[in-house]
Structure 1
Amino acid sequence: MRTDDLVGLLSTGIAPVKSGTVARRFGISVPVAVIGATALMVAVFGIRPDLSTIAKTAIFWEKLAFPLCLAIGALIATVRLARPGAKVGTGWPVMAVPVVIVWIAAIAVVISAAPQDRLPAILGHTWRTCPFNILLLAVPGFIAIFWAVKGLAPTRLRLAGAVSGLLASSIATVAYCFHCPEMNPAFWSIWYMAGMLLPAALGAVLGPKLLRW
């Protein structure tokens, strides 16, 4: 068989990929993650009663900006890794910068605190439950985002699964901020990060199985 005949045979029946598929799939999955996490937060935990007051403070918006910036970076990375052979690209610095900033703020808080106040600053009042609350709120987004990524033929399945889990958990953390009473960067730097890394680790484990196409 000649090369031209082989190419013709392989290309038979192939239809062009519809334009806008990536936008459509993430246009469905990301709102599902946001709505699902928010609805679960309201139903299971409830909105903090002093939200109208605390929303007037800069520290609340700084707390909200932390997972929101991570979600933006994770979205960039997830969209790229959903395509065959793509790299994370600019997703890495967008995800890394907020983590570095929060860790610098956390170190400053701990160093400046009195010795007896350092551990309470890190543990807060909810360290035992915070990561698992975020994990729960990430479930709708985890399912929806994995659905979106699988339909786009990723090839780096473990990494794609990890950033998909991080995207779901960072969105969940944004929703959780409207319930969580913790207002100290020393707390966020550990327990919010733990909550976001749990679904990321789960995604890395399940990615090769759930994202295979």
Structure 2
Amino acid sequence: MKTDMLIMMLAKGPRAPSRAAVRRRLGTGVMFGVAAALLLLVFAVPGGIPVQALAARLAMPVFWAKLALPVSMTAAGVALLSRLSQPGVPTERAWKLLCVPIVLVWLVALAVLAGAPASTREALILGHTWRACLTHIVHLSIPGFAALLIAMRGLAPTRPALAGAVTGVLAGAIGALAYCLRCPEMEPPFWATWYLVGMSVPAVIGAWVGPRAMRW
């Protein structure tokens, strides 16, 4: 092959997406995921959003602490996924951002469990709605998961299994964010457990789907 032909092929080959393209595609996916999760919560989940109960919870500091978990996980997930969508971009800092809310919420949960009587610890973790919590978070994450997978297909992830897992975490965080508006459980051990388990289910699915959905 001639040198000029090789240069032309390389010049016309695939290029890493620009930061603007990454922001646009992931931002669209996140906004769609949030909007769709809220619509599903209102129209597809029995009972929708309990307005009176939610109004009362807004006055509780623990509600805002609970809400901070999926909000921070969403922000950190976007930061990490944007780096995984571009070849050669370092991800160490973004991984730390993703781990910080998990560590903090479990430190609080362990402190609550340590200070509670042994007979009540199981109830603090399971609450009254753990099955519904897990089910709803997974269901509410589905639209965001699909939208973010489509967004990532148009970018350039070089580690598709890892990118798929983070896509699932981000979608799960969006689902948990929407579910916070309905969730009656206020004990940190409950949401430290089941919100994170709910996020891990789409993460596992994403790790399996990623190499297939994000193939170049």
Superposition TM-score tier, normalisation by shorter sequence:
over 0.9
1:70 paired residue number: 73
2:118 paired residue number: 115
- When normalised by structure 2's length, the TM-score is 0.91
2:37 paired residue number: 37
Could you tell me how far 1:95 is from its partner in structure 2?
Answer: 1.1
Per-residue CA deviation, residues 61-108 of structure 1 (Å, 9 max, x unaligned), is 000001111111111011111112434232211111111111111111
Q: Match for 1:124: what amino acid?
A: G
Q: Match for 1:89: what amino acid?
A: E
Task: Write 1 or 2 for the structure with the bigger share of helix.
Answer: 2
Residue correspondence of structure 1 range 183-202 to structure 2 within 5 A: 183-202=186-205
Q: CA–CA distance in 2 between the matches of 1:13 and 1:122?
A: 53
Q: CA–CA distance in 1 between the matches of 2:73 and 2:15?
A: 36
- When normalised by structure 1's length, the TM-score is 0.92
Q: Is the alpha carbon distance of 1:8 and 1:61 closer, same or farther for their aligned partners in structure 2, counting shifts above 3 Å?
A: same
Task: Extract unaligned runs of 5+ from structure 1.
Answer: none
SS of match in other structure, 1:138 = helix
Q: Is the alpha carbon distance of 1:20 and 1:174 closer, same or farther for their aligned partners in structure 2, counting shifts above 3 Å?
A: same
Q: CA–CA distance in 2 between the matches of 1:172 and 1:15?
A: 33
- Asked if residue 130 in structure 1 is aligned to residue 157 in structure 2, the reply is no
1:11 paired residue number: 11
Per-residue CA deviation, residues 90-133 of structure 1 (Å, 9 max, x unaligned), is 22111111111111111111111112211111110011221121
Between Structure 1 and Structure 2, how many residues are aligned? Answer: 213
Could you tell me how far 1:2 is from its partner in structure 2?
Answer: 4.5
Could you tell me how far 1:4 is from its partner in structure 2?
Answer: 3.9
For the 8 Å contact 2:157–2:163, the answer to whether it is kept is: yes
Q: Is the alpha carbon distance of 1:154 and 1:12 closer, same or farther for their aligned partners in structure 2, counting shifts above 3 Å?
A: closer
1:206 paired residue number: 209
Q: Is the alpha carbon distance of 1:143 and 1:9 closer, same or farther for their aligned partners in structure 2, counting shifts above 3 Å?
A: closer
Task: Extract unaligned runs of 5+ from structure 2.
Answer: none
Q: CA–CA distance in 1 between the matches of 2:55 and 2:63?
A: 11
- Which one of the candidate residues 95, 99, 102 is aligned to 1:99? 102
SS of match in other structure, 1:152 = coil
CA RMSD of aligned residues (A): 2.0
Residue correspondence of structure 1 range 146-185 to structure 2 within 5 A: 146-185=149-188
Could you tell me how far 1:9 is from its partner in structure 2?
Answer: 4.8
Could you tell me how far 1:18 is from its partner in structure 2?
Answer: 6.9
Q: Is the alpha carbon distance of 1:122 and 1:9 closer, same or farther for their aligned partners in structure 2, counting shifts above 3 Å?
A: closer
Per-residue CA deviation, residues 115-162 of structure 1 (Å, 9 max, x unaligned), is 221111111001122112100000000000011111012110000000
Could you tell me how far 1:8 is from its partner in structure 2?
Answer: 3.2
Q: Is the alpha carbon distance of 1:167 and 1:8 closer, same or farther for their aligned partners in structure 2, counting shifts above 3 Å?
A: same
| Same amino acid, percent of matched pairs | 43
